[in-house]
Amino acid sequence: MPEAELERRFDPRIVAFFCNWCTYTAADLAGISRMEYPPGVRIVRLMCSGRVDPQFVLAAFRHGADGVLIGGCHPGDCHYQEGNYKARRRFELLRMLLRDMGIEGERLRLEWISASEGDKVARVCNEMTEQIRALGPLRLRAAPPRAGRPSAREAAGEGAGEPVVEEPVGEAAR
């Protein structure tokens, strides 16, 4: 690939919340097996996919992630019985919320990956990186200051600079 093109290439930042018992172990296996996946995927290890609080996802986007990947044990294999079912319910709601905010649903992905599926970790990370690259960077901007008297929260310095979506993009614009 020519050097100028390489410089222009957008390398998506993806925050991956992986459950300790399955997907994180699979990511470890992928590393040990020398399978390649993009360095823009940053893994956060949690004990269970059910521990992924929706606020973690929103915070990841607010702090510059272009995509968020959640990985957990296959249905029926969760070490905490139903954590992955909880994750699946939250995922559906979060996707709707993101669409309402003008963020494409494809920027959030949920995958079941068992400890032996190192190859699947690499495939999903590569696929998602390409998908997000096609969408382009996520553009959030700080909320404009409101006219009039500041609220007590604003006066205390809270809530300033919270992101709003610059403009609807992709399917959200339709």
Q: What three-state secondary structure class fits 45?
A: strand
Taking CB under 6 A as the rule, does residue 123 contact ligand FES?
no
**Cβ count within 10 A of residue 97:** 14
User: Least CB distance from residue 48 to ligand FES, whole Å?
Assistant: 3
31, exposed or middle or buried, with CB in 10 Å at 0-12, 13-18, 19+? middle
User: Least CB distance from residue 174 to ligand FES, whole Å?
Assistant: 34
**Which residues, including other chains, have CB under 8 Å from residue 144's CB and lie 6 or more apart?**
none
Site for ligand FES in 46-105 (CB under 6 A): 48-50, 72-73, 78-80, 83-84
Closest CA to 25 of 117, 144, 137: 117
User: Least CB distance from residue 16 to ligand FES, whole Å?
Assistant: 14
DSSP run (H or E) holding 127? helix 118-135
> Closer to ligand FES at the Cβ: 19 or 94?
19
Using the rule CB under 6 A, which residue among 14, 15, 16, 19 binds ligand FES? 19
> Closer to ligand FES at the Cβ: 19 or 60?
19
Residues that bind ligand FES (CB under 6 A): 19, 21-22, 48-50, 72-73, 78-80, 83-84
